[in-house]
Every structure is written in structure tokens, then in C-alpha cells.
Amino acid sequence: MAMHNFTDLITAYAWTSHDGRRSAIGKSIWQWYGKTKSVLVIDLCGFSKSSTDKASILDFLAVIRRMQAAA
């Protein structure tokens, strides 16, 4: 994958519905920006509380990116 800009990668992840493509983008994000430890604090009216069991950090960032694009 040629793109290494974090915002471009998250945007691509946010708007891609093909599981194989999302997986490839996720691997690319981890390769370029992944860390063994991280902290994410977010409150979108209970979004994080209701979604933490079924979503990854990339899913959270994808939702935020879609909201930013809609604004």
C-alpha cells in the first residue's frame, strides 16, 4: 500500500466496506503507527461504553473520521 499518511489511511478504512481491504489497511496502519501500548479516551454520548466489546480502536477512529467528514 503506497499511502502512509495516517489521516488518509483512517479515511480509507472508514469508507471501505470490503473486509479484505479493511484488513490490509489495518495492517498498514499498525506497520506505520502501531505501538504495543496506547490509551484512548473518548466520549461520544456513551459510544465508547456501548461499543468497546465489539469494536477495535480502528473502528472508533473510523467513526470519528466519518463524523468529521459529515461536519
What's residue 45's pLDDT? 65
pLDDT at 48 over 60: no
d(CA 42, CA 17): 24
> Does the global pTM surpass 0.95?
no
Residue count (the chain): 71
**Which grid cell sits at 29?**
496502519
Q: Choose the weakest-confidence range: 3-12, 21-30, 36-45.
A: 36-45
The number of folded domains in the chain is: 1
pLDDT at 9 over 70: yes
Q: Which has the closest alpha carbon to 28: 49, 52, 48, 11? A: 11
Tens-place pLDDT, residues 23-42: 999 999 999 888 877 676 66
Residue 17 DSSP symbol: -
Domain-embedded: residue 1: no
d(CA 51, CA 66): 16
Domain-embedded: residue 15: yes
| Domain extent for 41 | 6-70
Domain-embedded: residue 24: yes
